[in-house]
Amino acid sequence: MANATRAGRRAWLGLVVLLLPALLVSMDLSVLFMALPFLSADLGPSSGQLLWILDVYGFCLAGLLLTMGTLGDRIGRRRLLLAGAVAFGLASVIAAYATSAEMLIATRALLGIAGATLAPSTLSLIRTMFPDPRQRRTAIGAWTSAFAGGAVVGPIAGGLLLEYFWWGSVFLVNVPVMLLLLVLGRMLLPESRDPSPGRFDLAGAGMSLAAVLAVIYGVKRFAEHGADPWAGASLVAGLAVGALFVVRQRRLSEPALDVRLFRHRAFSISIVTGTIAILAVAGSGLYTTQYLQLVHGMRPFTAALCNLPVVAGMLVGVTVATMLVRRVRPGTVVGLGLAVCALGFAVIALVDVESHVALLLGGATLMVAGVGMATTLATDMVIATAPPTRAGAASALSETGNELGGALGIAVLGSIGAAVYRSELSGTSPAGLPANVASAARDTLGGAVHVADSLPEPLAGALVRAAREAFVGGMQVVAVVSAAGLAVAAVLAAIWLRRVRTDDAAHVSPDVDEPAPVS
């Protein structure tokens, strides 16, 4: 790739355009957190409907990523991106004016489907627009920062909008951005596709959708209800369908997913690395937000603002990774990033009830900086290793791993923290609590704070103090487990990727030519 054509000004302007959907797709995963009390008052959803309003977007997004990535390879990545922008904008308008919980659930599902067209298209277009490895890594670093930043910006933007407008405004903010994408995308983004795509594997698309949805649903149900039969059945069914999907893809001459890519160490290890990093971050996010709000008593909007330095940590990590990889091999940088992430968790493990919030935010900033280092290069290696004709499918596979990592982080680390919380609170709860109050308090810290309002002093204060101590104990255990796991992953990644050079991916598929731009 030493002779790769370097991207010019037009490509960099196009990158700015591609960052818009990356930011919005991520924002829509979290922007509703601030609006839930308001839409609940208007629409009156049941507790089950409320969960579906939150989760159906992520379910549809994750389940359709691979299908949409493959579709983009066939019909054109820019075409799919712009079609997705139209769908995302229209679904946002309908969601803003939803008149019932059922209508909002349906439109959130439409937003997830549209989001699945946007996410892989952005990464695969970056692969086409930036053939030079150094420039591509910088571009992917910017994309990573935008996608990660959206999760933090979502609650902040939601809080600001809700100060002045009704809850539907958190959806309408998508519309002008999608209009901008439609106008500038046609001007600045090139079209590219697989010149010989073969037949679209409709059965395979259905199998991949069923497998991903079943696995993620099972993981989420396990997080909410523990090891119940539905969670187990969903996981087993998802894994079984996934195995059948892989067998089918190996037999097809033009598969949606070329499973031979997993033979390349850079490809397979990079996907696993990205999944592990996102798993750790998603799990920690459960605790940092609750710590700020329920232990230190911050308002949700103030807690969201406190996370802004964490976004800066991501930017620093991405920048450091792109600079270091010019001098050392990518496996070393990935391992270093995971080690920095482990160090951040080690700092979080030192946080107690009386700690200043700066200690928690410092640890979280280190953690996110390490994730930025690791995931930027992991994503780059996935994209660079795949043939250009399969850029959409490879991008989608990388993002599906991230979605799965997020679900696993909440399920696994959330379950560990919840078990520690219940165990510690059972032994430290003040005597004399009514049975129903004690049961509600053992569920969550939020539940303990809520039921304490109905108790007289000093019983209420004693319960809140015990619950906060138990919650922090669970957070510390999760941080220690995460730090240990990431430390091991750092060593293994550095060892397994030690022979991968920055230009190795360019030679993985020498028989596949760059697809010619399509007008």
The 10s digit of each residue's pLDDT in 418-476 is 888 888 888 887 877 778 778 878 877 877 887 887 778 888 888 888 889 998 998 99
Domain regions of the chain by residue span: 10-201+252-256, 262-504
10-201+252-256 against 262-504: fold identical: yes
The DSSP output letter for 132 is: S
Q: Is residue 509's pLDDT more than 70?
A: no
The CB-based long-range contact list for 330-333 (8 Å cut-off, 24+ gap) reads: 330/377, 330/380, 330/381, 330/497, 330/500, 330/501, 330/502, 331/493, 331/494, 331/495, 331/496, 331/497, 331/498, 331/499, 331/500, 332/494, 332/498, 333/373, 333/374, 333/377
CB 236 within 8 A of CB 429: no
The answer to which of 32-36, 110-114, 290-294 has the lowest mean pLDDT is 32-36
Q: Is residue 507's pLDDT more than 70?
A: no
Summarize the confidence of residues 50-74 as an average pLDDT: 80
Summarize the confidence of residues 349-376 as an average pLDDT: 90
Which pLDDT belongs to residue 392? 67
Which one has a higher pLDDT value, 309 or 94? 94
Question: Whole-number mean pLDDT of the chain?
Answer: 81
Summarize the confidence of residues 21-41 as an average pLDDT: 77
pLDDT band at 47; cut points 50, 70, 90: low
Q: What is d(CA 47, CA 386) in angstroms, rounded to the nearest whole number?
A: 43
**Residue 205 CB neighbour total at 10 angstroms:** 18
pLDDT tens by residue, 165-194: 888 888 998 999 999 999 998 888 888 777
In terms of Cβ atoms closer than 10 Å to its own Cβ (0-12, 13-18, 19+), residue 49 is middle
pLDDT band at 503; cut points 50, 70, 90: low
Most confident of 47-61, 135-149, 382-396: 135-149
Which pLDDT belongs to residue 48? 66
Which pLDDT belongs to residue 157? 79
Q: Is residue 70's pLDDT more than 50?
A: yes
Superfamily of domain 262-504: MFS general substrate transporter like domains (1.20.1250.20)
Q: What is the pTM of this model?
A: 0.78
Closest CA to 433 of 454, 403, 408: 454
- Tell me which amino acid residue 148 is: A
Please give the C-alpha separations between residue 344 and each of 284, 292, 338, 405, in angstroms, as whole numbers: 11, 17, 10, 19
- Tell me which amino acid residue 70 is: T
pLDDT band at 508; cut points 50, 70, 90: very low
Which pLDDT belongs to residue 337? 92
CATH number attached to the domain at 10-201+252-256:
1.20.1250.20
pLDDT band at 515; cut points 50, 70, 90: very low
pLDDT tens by residue, 226-285: 677 888 899 899 999 989 988 888 887 777 777 777 777 778 888 888 888 888 877 777
Which pLDDT belongs to residue 95? 93
Summarize the confidence of residues 72-101 as an average pLDDT: 90
